[in-house]
């Protein structure tokens, strides 16, 4: 998924980092302070919603875009209530991710 997202945004946005799990996502956010974070709900070590909460505790202005499978509808709603700025349901098209990121930056 990370590779696919990076390929989709190439040429329009710069991917400044990637994280393999929620704990790494928090560390990368502290280090890189990206304009937008794309995050899945299901992640190893720490789930995406918990990692998003930690990122928002570090920076209330962080812009987190949740990308999740349709089977996680309740989790997507939970993410939105907890500070996600937008969400996309997988599978999504290149134009959808570019539009979502453009709305956030």
Taking only the tens place, the pLDDT of each residue in 57-103 is 999 999 999 988 866 678 878 889 999 999 998 888 999 999 999 99
pLDDT of residue 2: 86
The pLDDT of residue 68 is 84
Which string of DSSP letters, residue by residue, matches 39-79?
A: EESS-SSS-HHHHHHHHHHH-TT--EEEEEEGGGHHHHHHH
pLDDT for the residue 71? 66
Q: Would the pLDDT of 12 be above 90? A: yes
Report the SS3 class of residue 86. strand
Q: Maximum distance among all alpha carbons in the chain?
A: 33
Distances (CA, A) of 29 to 37, 56, 67, 86: 8, 10, 17, 18
Q: Can you give the pTM of this predicted structure?
A: 0.90
């Amino acid at each position: 998924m990370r590779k696919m997202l990076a390929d989709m945004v190439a040429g329009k946005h710069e991917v400044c980092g990637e994280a393999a799990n929620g704990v790494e996502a928090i560390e990368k956010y502290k280090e890189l302070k990206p304009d937008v974070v794309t995050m899945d709900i299901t992640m190893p070590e720490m789930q995406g919603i918990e990692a998003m909460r930690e990122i928002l505790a570090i920076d209330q202005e962080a812009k987190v875009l949740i990308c999740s499978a349709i089977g996680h509808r309740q989790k997507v709603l939970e993410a939105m209530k907890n500070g996600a700025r937008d969400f996309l349901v997988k599978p999504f098209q290149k134009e959808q991710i570019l539009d979502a990121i453009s709305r956030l930056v």
